[in-house]
A and B are shown apart, each in its own frame.
Chain A
Amino acid sequence: MSAIREDFREILSLVRPGARVLDVGCEDGELLELLTREKSVDGQGLEISPEGVSACLARGLAVVQGDGDRDLDHFPTRAFDYAILSKTLQQMREPRHVLSELLRIADQAVVSVPNFGHWKVRWALLSRGRMPETGALPEPWWSTPNIHLCTLRDFTTLCDDLDLRIDACMSLADGKPARSIDPRQPIENWRAETALFLLSRKVEGAVVAPAAKSDLFG
């Protein structure tokens, strides 16, 4: 249990036992396996790489080889309790569409994004005048898969545009314990390196009442 990634630990703590979970970009299925083992979820993965798909199948997980940008449309409305998109929204061709699709397919979405407003990013750009390379964004501009980076403020604005409610938000940083934050506080837009959001729809009865914060993050 010691080797669980920080973001996985947080996701694990906020998913209800026995829930139906779609993990978009599930890679080798590590998170889904964890959720299946620890929370008995009914899981489904979506993964683009053949290696990832093979690894998931070898773990006995349900996984579809496919593309989060293209293949979400085929899932029925509210087919899942949670849709998880871990650190890949910024790699999507149409993040806005993907985000709204996640909350069509599932009652709640768990989405993590690197914060381009983090002070290290701002400092790198200001001081060196070059595209930042940080712990959360380690690759040079010419090979990064991140094509739609945003700041915390950008993300919360998009949530407002899409009429989404932020049920919880955590700041994640390598090696440090996760911290519950208010993502609308300007200071957090400097401090949070990566943010993990629990989102739900504001309208049409909001489907399920979000669990109390203490249940979400302990």
Chain B
Amino acid sequence: MTAQASTTGGVETGGGTWRFSADQPLRLDSGAILLPLEIAYKTYGRLNDARTNAVLVCHALTGDQHLASTHPITGKPGWWDLYVGPGRPLDPERHFIICTNVVGGCMGTTGPASVDTKSGEAYGLKFPVITIADMVRAQAMLIDALGIECLFAAVGGSMGGMQVLQWAADYPDKLFSAVCIAGAARHSAQNIAFHEVGRQAIMADPNWCGGAYLAAGVRPDKGLAVARMAAHITYLSESALQRKFGRELQKDGLSWGFDADFQVESYLRHQGASFVDRFDANSYLYITRALDYFDLSAQYGGVLAQAFRKARHVKFCVLSFSSDWLYPTEESRDVVRALNGAGCRASFAEIETDKGHDAFFLADPQLDQTLRGFLAAQAQARGLG
């Protein structure tokens, strides 16, 4: 493995790429085996001597391991900078915070753009289909490798929240507490439908080349940008779009053509164009597929509560946003009912906001307070002081 440790802004950061040896392949739900496995990760803070203060933060569909430090490609602050840092709910002075790039991702963890050692070329569509459980299995391998027996908390929003639920189902003994924000226990028909639009946009781009665009020296940027634009709408809410853009124009008067007359068009085009600089089209296909395949109750005879029956000692916090129509509150309520049904101690709150699904990344005093309150109580129970 390669690892660096350094101190940035008073925070001890670490991480790198963990290369698992040939006798440690990742066994996938599909039956396929991923070998070799590399996991790119970042850490913030220091693991205490008792190894009891580790927090795993799981990222969303297009997120990565750059949780609270400058992104190497975009130069922007970490995606959860508002909630991770000195004095924030997740505090490197108290917690050892780990964030890994998911399997299938494109920021250093093995994914479709990685080189397949068998052929010497990028996997492309030869990469096996992966699941949320596969992502979690890989994370558990890294946690083991780092010498951590039990996480103080697993925390995640959106797809990250789904990983947290999968952690509770698959590795309850390695979990002390769990925070699932704006997540769900399964992908709905609407979720799958939007993903299919995105995938079709990518695959309709001639530069996609049947998935072998890296060998052809091109990139399906147009298709990927359209996929991002469509998805981005689902991350906002009607009222947030209206508040932000209304029918405001870019310039005075209409162009009487198909330029980006409206500010909302220009905004979406920008979102699409900047996304392709940092994301791989095939990764988008594979990770959206993993999300679509996600149905935590499926392996428990359709009874979600059964998934949590071994996690009764885990303290859960489930949060939703009132204007989130991608993973609506009712999805979180289903999770909470299943947790109650399994006899787990769970907290649940619906946070009032008009910012839609993306509220999870944005400054929200109620989210901040809730995370602080929950984590402080768990820290006390864990003896973290």
Contacts and interface: CB of A to CB of B under 8 A. Distances in A.
A79 B374 contact: no
A131 B377 CA distance: 45
Contacts of A8: none
A58 interface: yes
Given A75-B340, A79-B343, A64 B380 contact: no
A65 interface: yes
Contact of B349 (A44, A65, A71, A79): A65
A57 B373 contact: yes
Size range of the chain A interface in the assembly: 20 to 34
B315 to A, nearest CB: 7
Interface in B202-217: none
Contacts, number: 65
Interface residues of chain B: helix, strand, loop or mixed (majority): helix
B348 interface: yes
Nearest to A50: B352
A85 to B, nearest CB: 17
A44 B345 contact: yes
B307 interface: no
Contacts of B374: 57, 60
Given A60-B376, A60-B377, A74-B337, A66 B345 contact: no
Contacts of A216: none
Contact of A64 (B315, B346, B352, B369): B346
A6 interface: no
A102 interface: no
Contacts of A74: 337, 340-341
A58 B368 CA distance: 10
B366 interface: yes
Given A54-B370, A64-B346, A76 B341 contact: yes
Given A60-B376, A62-B315, A64-B336, A54 B345 contact: no
A176 B6 CA distance: 64
Interface in A42-81: 42, 44, 50, 53-54, 56-66, 71, 74-76, 79
A59 B374 CA distance: 8
Interface string B145-181: 0000000000000000000000000000000000000
A71 to B, nearest CB: 7
Nearest to B337: A74
Contacts of A56: 347
Interface centre among B349, B369, B380 (most CB of A within 10 A): B349
B341 A57 contact: no
Contact of A59 (B333, B336, B346, B373): B373
B350 interface: yes
Given A64-B348, A66-B348, A58 B373 contact: yes
Given A64-B340, A76-B341, A50 B373 contact: no
Contacts of B349: 50, 53-54, 57, 63, 65
B373 to A, nearest CB: 4
Interface string B328-364: 0000010011001111011111101000000000000
A50 B347 contact: no
B346 A62 contact: yes
A54 B340 contact: no
B337 A61 contact: no
A50 B346 CA distance: 16
Contact of A63 (B333, B347, B366, B376): B347
Nearest to A45: B347
Contacts of B341: 74-76
A60 B380 CA distance: 9
Contacts of A62: 315, 345-347
A62 B377 CA distance: 10
Interface in B88-131: none
A11 to B, nearest CB: 20
Interface centre among A50, A57, A61 (most CB of B within 10 A): A57
A75 B336 CA distance: 10
Contacts of A71: 337
Nearest to A53: B349
Contacts of B373: 57-60
Nearest to A57: B373
Contacts of B342: 76
Contacts of B366: 50, 54
Contacts of A53: 348-349
A54 B374 CA distance: 10
A59 B347 CA distance: 12
Contact of B369 (A44, A58, A65): A58
Contacts of B347: 56-57, 61-64
A74 B377 CA distance: 25
Given A50-B352, A57-B373, A76-B342, 19 more contacts: A50-B349, A50-B350, A50-B366, A54-B366, A54-B369, A54-B370, A58-B370, A59-B377, A60-B380, A62-B345, A62-B346, A63-B348, A63-B349, A64-B336, A64-B347, A65-B349, A66-B336, A66-B348, A76-B341
Interface of B: 315, 317, 333, 336-337, 340-343, 345-350, 352, 366, 369-370, 372-374, 376-378, 380
10 contacts: A50-B349, A53-B348, A54-B349, A58-B369, A59-B377, A60-B378, A60-B380, A61-B347, A64-B347, A76-B340
